[in-house]
Amino acid sequence: MKFSQEDPTDAHRIQSYDLKSIVIQSGNQPERTTVTTDFILTAEQIVLPWPINATTDFNADDVAYFKSLDTEVLLLAQETLIRLSPAILVEFSKQAIGVEQMPIGSACRTFNLLIAEGRQVALAVNFD
């Protein structure tokens, strides 16, 4: 079996992060974007401003929004983890979207890994 590394060079990647900002390398572009407010990131787009409810108030419309982004894995990055309600987790499951909640640094590293694998991942960062 022959292995070869795929490099989706046109995908957004996390260049660096801390608890107050995330630096995004946009595909093949030399410029970087620094984001300091809540946002959503996919391989193709940076969604600003945060277009959904607060994590504690997620509802079916928010789940549908992530489905419209063709999300198969949602990474919820928060400085202080606030768990989603079981009812919302069921809604995500019905839409075939896996959800992981983790600290910002872990979520950024996981996002880059999943993008490198070619997965349809969305990173939702909540700095509050």
β-strand partners of 64: none
Phi/psi-derived region of residue 118, left when phi > 0, alpha when psi is between -120 and 50, beta in every other case: left
Q: pLDDT digit string (tens) for 34-76?
A: 999 999 999 999 999 888 888 888 999 999 999 999 999 999 9
**Dihedral of alpha carbons 88, 91, 92, 93, sign:** positive
Residue 96 has pLDDT above 90, yes or no: yes
- Average pLDDT score over the chain: 90
Is residue 5 one of the residues assigned to a domain?
Answer: no
Is residue 72 one of the residues assigned to a domain?
Answer: yes
Task: Quote the tokens at residue 89.
Answer: 């987790």
% of residues, the chain, pLDDT over 90: 74
Instruction: Report, as an integer, the average pLDDT of 24-37.
Output: 89
CATH assignment of the domain containing 39: 3.40.1230.10
pTM of the model: 0.90
Domain with 17, as residue range(s), is 12-126
Residue 8 has pLDDT above 70, yes or no: no
Task: Quote the tokens at residue 21.
Answer: 């900002």
Is residue 76 one of the residues assigned to a domain?
Answer: yes
Instruction: Report, as an integer, the average pLDDT of 106-113.
Output: 97
Is residue 1 one of the residues assigned to a domain?
Answer: no
β-strand partners of 81: none
The tally of domains found in the chain comes to 1
* Interacting residues of 118 by C-beta distance below 8 A, sequence separation 6+: 6, 8
